[in-house]
Structure 1
Amino acid sequence: MSNKADVDVQTFINEQPFSRFQWLIFALCFLIVLLDGFDTAAIGYIAPSLIQEWGVTKPDLAPVLSAALFGLAAGALGSGPLSDRLGRRLVLNVSVLVFAVACLASAFAHDLHSLTVWRFITGLGLGAAMPNAVTLISEYCPAKRRALLTNAMFSGFPLGAALGGFLAAWMIPQFGWRSVLVLGGVAPVVLIVLMLLWMPESVRYMVAKGMPTERVRAVLSRISAAAAGARSFHLTEVSSAAEGKRGLAVVLSRSYAVGTLMLWLAYFMGLVIFYALINWMPILFKDAGLDPKTATLTAALFPLGGCGAIFFGWLMDRFNANRIIAIGYALTAAAIYAIGQVAGEVGALVLVVFLAGTIMNTAQVSMPALAAAFYPTQGRATGVAWMLGIGRFGGIAGSFLVAELARQKLGFSEVFMVVAIPGLIATAALIVKQFAEPGVERERRTGTEAEARASLREATQGAH
């Protein structure tokens, strides 16, 4: 590689062992998403305390529970185009700072109105951070391990949400509900310092934007010293559909439009399920007869299951990713329905909640990797961010859905039956995506196989 005057960036990354520098980027992105999950889910865990301390009803909580989701949607929709224009690193640093400050301020709110405002601002930062973390890590991954590593990084979100539940169960009785929000604000402040020191710009973004060769070489040299001899760098995109376009123009272009809409629909439905349950399960379980601490700990098992996404990433790198995730959503629908059938047995409830969470979060956490692989560099940040942003409205719908079902006085089992339906819709959306975009997908698979063959030839020639 060092003898080549002109180097293809992705081919270079594909050929090198995964370096310490790339693991550092992975760790920073994982921590961003972990804290994103913690801060997003925190409001659900403190909701029972708000009802008790402020004397509000469950329907009164719907605006504060969904405020961060409106912010998440706005942050994601705005950050994608900004990231494709200004860079991943700048948008990431600013977004983490925003949700750190706003979450800390939320801890000092004294009524639902002020808490709702601060939760919205927190959501702006959270919504901007997550898609850019996904985009950054995906652009530093070798093609054959991209889904595995992206899913492993994104699994920090449900793990952070679960961590929030376990910490809340311990912290709230000891220090009060405000302590959970204080922790959610202080931790990302520490992370910002680490990001300023060690977080690089996306090397694919730098090449796509025509940044100085010296800057690209300096970053790639931290992956391998083989980059030191390169005189120039370029990108080879598999699809030509994005030529002359950038950002949303790529995402909504004729070649990507149907796939884009199906990604939006599937992610939307997944978040209907996630937020309907993460925000309301502690309250639903408490109403079903569990004591508050047991209800909180049992609910915390639901997001914990996202670690299964690592296995899905492995499958996605080897088989048809659309079908793998579609199967996950179909199994999710069955598992969510099963929760409603075991309310009276705590042992069975714990097991089914964990199983449902594992399947549901595995499918949902896999979606950003699917989107990142679907779009070219010129529209990747926008594509991922808009899927996450549009999907957030599903989270808003999920939060209000359970509030409405409670207002209609539906029983425990009926609530979970209704919440299971979006899983079937998400399954159908990914099946449509599979059959509606055969040209793009076939071209992408052919390009990936050709790239792999070229890398193998070079490695064989080098060996001789």
Structure 2
Amino acid sequence: MQQFLDSHPVSRRQRLIIFLLMMVMVFEGLDQIIAAQVFPQLIHEWGTSVSSITEIVTASSLSLAVGSVVAGPITDRFGRKPPLIVGILLFGAGTAAMGRLSQDVIVFGALRCVACIGLGITVVVTMALTADLLPTARRSQMMVLVFAGVTLGSLFGSLLAAVAIEPLGWRAVLGISGLLPLLLIRPITRLVPESPTILVARGRTDAVRSALQTLLPGSDASSVDLSLSESEEHLVRPTAILGRMYIARTLLIWLLFLAAYSVLTVLLQYTPMLLQAPVPGFTTAQSGLTMTVFSIGGLVGGLSVSFVLKRVSRFATLSTVLVLAAAVLFAIALVPTGFVTLMVGFLFLGLTFSSATSSLATVGGLAYPTALRGTGLGAANTAGRVGTLVGGLAGGTLITSGLNVSEISAILSAPVLASALCIVALRALT
């Protein structure tokens, strides 16, 4: 069956499906940025304390982890499409309800947790479905391209917040960002088929041939061999990722996601604070421009990596990019912290490290057979959310210790280099 997909070029229908899945990730990135931009409004309008905002952020991270870990086994057992639709409904309706129903910070926080459970489900299912519906040679490229939608959504979210929160109010902006993803439900329901491998495992032979015809219109799927490979003869239990066959790669993937996301959290959450410290003493506009350059670098780098992966091994590509990212961080530590030099440094940091983190699903999901792909991605994303919490705590500790941006950059180069080593070890295992 996979040989049938591999024997055909990517069709127009597959490209349309990739576009729809990328739009799901665009709205995921937009949602997370808009929520963060609303927090200052809650402090101003409701007098919400910073500690309450921190509690919401922590609960949101845990909710994302719950969504990720629950989605994996469910999507491997019952299929990809139903959880995807449920995830979109939860994060879209939950975000819209935050603007419509929130009268205090408790209700706001509860609805944010509902939305984040949906976000955690959506990212796992979207990446698993992307891998399932494409020929093997194009999986890595398209998975990176789809995940680049998160960075694109972050840029759109920043622009929307900048132009709309003041004239329309934060409630209206939350309503807009919540309703937009709901518009994707109908086209996804009509145009995106279920994973053929999952359908075979469930004994739905006719539906498998229909799915293949949907993916490759005009092809003849009547004679396709619908037997599964030995690794996919049945839907294995979720705990198989911790069995003897997969335990080593699973632990390496968890360490990779934890290290990468902890560094990303420090960069995203604490860089503005570091840049506006007495040294180097940047203005709010300068620190904002520096982070914008970082995001643009991440988007350009992610798209570039997606095309490199069409011809080069994902292991070689990502390990090289991460080594370059570690070198950039060390260079930032050595060069005087002027505005221009940091702008250039963060541009290259976006091109390398940010693009690498958007590509982690290619090693987190493709390390497992299809029957375990959702479970593996869900567990990896959960490890990433743990990394978010670790990064949040570590970043605060580093700043309160009096370290500056140069010293923290030097420290961060170590876990980035460790991430590269994890990918090298994964190459040997897979």
TM over 0.5: yes
Partner of residue 273, structure 1 = 263
Partner of residue 23, structure 2 = 31
Q: Gaps spanning 5+ residues in structure 2: where?
A: none
In 2, Cα distance between equivalents of 1:279 and 1:23? 35
Partner of residue 427, structure 2 = 434
Aligned with 2:366: secondary structure? helix
Q: Structure 2 counterpart of 1:68, which letter? A: S
Partner of residue 191, structure 1 = 184
TM-aligned CA distance change 1:223 to 1:433, over 3 Å: closer
In 1, Cα distance between equivalents of 2:185 and 2:289? 30
In 1, Cα distance between equivalents of 2:414 and 2:74? 35
Query: Which residue of 258, 274, 278 corresponds with 2:248?
Result: 258
Aligned with 1:107: secondary structure? helix
Partner of residue 230, structure 1 = 222
Whether 1:206 and 2:199 are equivalent positions in the alignment is: yes
Q: Structure 2 counterpart of 1:70, which letter? A: L
Query: Which residue of 72, 75, 78 corresponds with 1:80?
Result: 72
For residues 254-289 of structure 1, the C-alpha deviation after alignment (integer angstroms, 9 at most, x for no partner) is 121111111111111111122222233344444464
In 2, Cα distance between equivalents of 1:156 and 1:197? 22
In 1, Cα distance between equivalents of 2:48 and 2:424? 43
Q: Structure 1 counterpart of 2:122, which letter? A: A
TM-aligned CA distance change 1:137 to 1:383, over 3 Å: same
- Mapping for residues 33-432 of structure 1, pairs under 5 Å: 33-50=25-42, 52-53=44-45, 61-107=53-99, 109=102, 111-213=104-206, 215-225=207-217, 227-228=219-220, 230=222, 233-237=225-229, 240=230, 246-287=236-277, 289-304=281-296, 305-338=298-331, 345-432=338-425
Q: Gaps spanning 5+ residues in structure 1: where?
A: 1-8, 442-464
TM-aligned CA distance change 1:113 to 1:414, over 3 Å: farther
179-188 or 343-352, which deviates more: 343-352
301-310 or 265-274, which deviates more: 301-310
In 2, Cα distance between equivalents of 1:50 and 1:337? 38
In 1, Cα distance between equivalents of 2:163 and 2:414? 34
In 1, Cα distance between equivalents of 2:147 and 2:322? 17
For residues 121-161 of structure 1, the C-alpha deviation after alignment (integer angstroms, 9 at most, x for no partner) is 22110010011111111111111111111111111112212
In 2, Cα distance between equivalents of 1:189 and 1:198? 15
For residues 205-259 of structure 1, the C-alpha deviation after alignment (integer angstroms, 9 at most, x for no partner) is 212322132x22222222335554615641453xx45655614233222121111
Alpha-carbon deviation of 1:52? Answer: 5.0
Partner of residue 11, structure 2 = 19
158-167 or 355-364, which deviates more: 158-167
TM-aligned CA distance change 1:242 to 1:208, over 3 Å: closer
Q: Structure 1 counterpart of 2:341, which letter? A: A
In 2, Cα distance between equivalents of 1:386 and 1:404? 27
TM-aligned CA distance change 1:111 to 1:340, over 3 Å: farther
TM-aligned CA distance change 1:42 to 1:384, over 3 Å: same
In 1, Cα distance between equivalents of 2:194 and 2:183? 20
User: What TM-score, normalized by structure 1, do the two folds share?
Assistant: 0.82
User: What TM-score, normalized by structure 2, do the two folds share?
Assistant: 0.88
TM-aligned CA distance change 1:418 to 1:64, over 3 Å: farther
In 2, Cα distance between equivalents of 1:118 and 1:378? 32
In 1, Cα distance between equivalents of 2:327 and 2:338? 18
Partner of residue 445, structure 1 = none
1:41, 1:164 within 8 Å by CA — same for their partners in 2?
A: yes
227-236 or 91-100, which deviates more: 227-236
1:221, 1:227 within 8 Å by CA — same for their partners in 2?
A: yes
In 2, Cα distance between equivalents of 1:161 and 1:273? 18
In 1, Cα distance between equivalents of 2:143 and 2:44? 40
Aligned with 2:245: secondary structure? coil
Alpha-carbon deviation of 1:164? Answer: 1.8
Q: Structure 2 counterpart of 1:116, which letter? A: G
Alpha-carbon deviation of 1:95? Answer: 0.5
Aligned with 1:13: secondary structure? helix
150-159 or 240-249, which deviates more: 240-249
TM-aligned CA distance change 1:179 to 1:330, over 3 Å: farther
Alpha-carbon deviation of 1:415? Answer: 3.7
Q: Structure 2 counterpart of 1:391, which letter? A: G
Aligned with 2:236: secondary structure? coil
Alpha-carbon deviation of 1:182? Answer: 2.7
2:61, 2:389 within 8 Å by CA — same for their partners in 1?
A: yes
For residues 353-389 of structure 1, the C-alpha deviation after alignment (integer angstroms, 9 at most, x for no partner) is 2221221122112211123321111111111121112
Q: CA RMSD in A?
A: 2.8
391-400 or 292-301, which deviates more: 292-301
51-60 or 78-87, which deviates more: 51-60
Aligned with 1:16: secondary structure? coil
Aligned with 2:184: secondary structure? helix
User: In the comparison of the two structures, how many residue pairs are matched?
Assistant: 426
2:200, 2:228 within 8 Å by CA — same for their partners in 1?
A: no
TM-aligned CA distance change 1:232 to 1:13, over 3 Å: closer
TM-aligned CA distance change 1:155 to 1:428, over 3 Å: same
Partner of residue 450, structure 1 = none
In 2, Cα distance between equivalents of 1:216 and 1:303? 40
For residues 77-123 of structure 1, the C-alpha deviation after alignment (integer angstroms, 9 at most, x for no partner) is 00000001111000000011001122123335455444333322221
TM-aligned CA distance change 1:115 to 1:417, over 3 Å: farther
